[in-house]
Structure 1
């Protein structure tokens, strides 16, 4: 089996109460700051609510030990204690998820400078969950970042936070509250969140598939188990370069907010996952700026790289950036060539974990 042991470190930039939706201006700014995932910790991300207006009444604040009866329809704020830290997340239950049978779960990881609330608002996961009947979790990183190794990213990396443990415990805890189907448990993320998503499938067997956007792989991945992989990457991305190597936010992994961006080229990363999954030869199709390289693999798995030739560091199909934020923060506009959320869910739903896998 192919290993990733030669990878160099890289980076990218529990009960609840329902929240009311924010103003349109706050929503637009949340979408913009969602895309500032350049791995420097910014102090002022705007919060964006999401989903509460679709559901019923919220419960009071709660933590570990809740049950399905305590999960309101809509969006809930929740808390989980891991390694002595109170970690927060948002749980979205659509009305279409009745919780009488096992349901799919998607963990969505925000980028650096983002939050779970911002990710909930910016990327359209709650709307997709309403249509398809799955549950979504939007966890919060420490100081708006995720630790994926000692050189990335920001305060969590500097402080040695174990975010793999946090997300693993989060999935277990949600599974004690909601009847989660372990064969249909998935992880998605953008930039720094995508780095953590790849780290999770390197280090655990919790997830049936990963859907990573505008990101790469960081550190050692010596013995990954087979897993379905969808990677969406803009060819003009300067933060997580499509061709590999340091990105524009790289500081060598030093200082108070360490950031090291030095991943492999996106096609090479896809090829390595195909080797792990023992896939057949990939087939490439092109539709405008969208190039898909997809391979089928044993036991129903798949590995796919979607390249958007004219896109930068962004979530395709995400909320538009307000012009002022885009100008001041040098944000890349979301591509309209693809709806990443819908595409990722289609991939997830087609790739559950094999029996016994």
Structure 2
């Protein structure tokens, strides 16, 4: 049974519509699978690979050769790619206007310095994800390849506090014709009046380790272990809606 294209493939439609440059790099192959050096100190994936330098070079090249606006560089990653997005947000913050980590956790013990520069952050997480515990810790299903993670709401608070945003979030359930009674998406957005900087958590109640999408649906059998795929929102469109007004020079938080 062939899987459909990833929900992130919707970025190709967005790129054509909005005239964007989309770059989709791969991690380095290890133990038969591609992985990023995502900075988990206890269990490092490809610890000798300089993936931060790799992404930095890609940004340089995109600006030099593809006329990319250096004020509008964004990163998004899913699962291990989302963990890499957290690392990039900590180490390449001076180059990024915003980032998104989807179905991913920040490490309890990181092999990189803690984030020190405020960034707009879009965090998407599911409460029934068997691999990324919403409340933090280590999933029993990940065996050797994932170390303990911070809770999702703790992670959102780190980025919110770094940006100096209000503790009170704007809360808005995502109601769509495709809403499924077993999963529900809710947006929590923290903002500041003096800045376009925001931190948003999209909490998928009842969702599993599957990117929310209405267009790109995984086979029903997929839901048996990774968990249910929410259809309230299109992850690529959600990310672009969050990114598009963000600039590197966001101003004071």
Number of the residue aligned with 2:171? 284
Relative distance call for 1:311 and 1:152 in structure 2 (3 A) is same
Cα shift at 1:319: 2.3
Cα shift at 1:213: 0.7
Matched, 1:164 2:52: yes
Number of the residue aligned with 1:5? none
Relative distance call for 1:335 and 1:133 in structure 2 (3 A) is same
Number of the residue aligned with 1:230? 122
User: Does structure 2 retain, via aligned residues, the 8 Å contact 1:321–1:333?
Assistant: no
TM-score w.r.t. the length of structure 1 is: 0.60
Of 337, 340, 345, the residue aligned with 2:232 is: 337
Number of the residue aligned with 2:3? 29
- The equivalences for 1:204-243 within 5 A come to 204=92, 205-218=94-107, 219=110, 220-243=112-135
Cα distance in structure 2, aligned partners of 1:222 and 1:145 = 22
Number of the residue aligned with 1:294? 189
Deviates more, 1:195-204 or 1:211-220: 211-220
User: Does structure 1 retain, via aligned residues, the 8 Å contact 2:173–2:185?
Assistant: yes
Cα distance in structure 2, aligned partners of 1:280 and 1:151 = 33
In structure 2, the residue corresponding to 1:138 is in which secondary structure?
coil
User: Does structure 2 retain, via aligned residues, the 8 Å contact 1:292–1:306?
Assistant: yes
Cα distance in structure 1, aligned partners of 2:220 and 2:95 = 40
User: Does structure 1 retain, via aligned residues, the 8 Å contact 2:195–2:251?
Assistant: no
Task: In structure 1, list runs of 5 or more residues that go unmatched.
Answer: 1-24, 35-120, 253-258
Relative distance call for 1:151 and 1:122 in structure 2 (3 A) is same
User: Does structure 2 retain, via aligned residues, the 8 Å contact 1:201–1:224?
Assistant: no
TM-score w.r.t. the length of structure 2 is: 0.83
Number of the residue aligned with 2:179? none
Relative distance call for 1:174 and 1:287 in structure 2 (3 A) is closer
Number of the residue aligned with 1:116? none
Cα distance in structure 1, aligned partners of 2:120 and 2:83 = 16
Of 10, 13, 16, the residue aligned with 1:127 is: 13
Cα shift at 1:355: 5.9
Cα distance in structure 1, aligned partners of 2:67 and 2:56 = 16
Task: In structure 2, list runs of 5 or more residues that go unmatched.
Answer: 176-183
Cα distance in structure 1, aligned partners of 2:154 and 2:170 = 15
- The equivalences for 1:1-357 within 5 A come to 28-29=2-3, 31=5, 123-143=9-29, 144-149=34-39, 150-154=41-45, 156-157=46-47, 160-204=48-92, 205-218=94-107, 219=110, 220-252=112-144, 259-281=145-167, 282-287=169-174, 289-297=184-192, 298-317=194-213, 319-323=216-220, 326=222, 330-354=225-249
Cα shift at 1:333: 4.2
The structure with the largest alpha-carbon Rg is 1
Relative distance call for 1:177 and 1:224 in structure 2 (3 A) is same
Cα distance in structure 1, aligned partners of 2:77 and 2:234 = 14
RMSD: 2.3
Cα shift at 1:275: 0.6
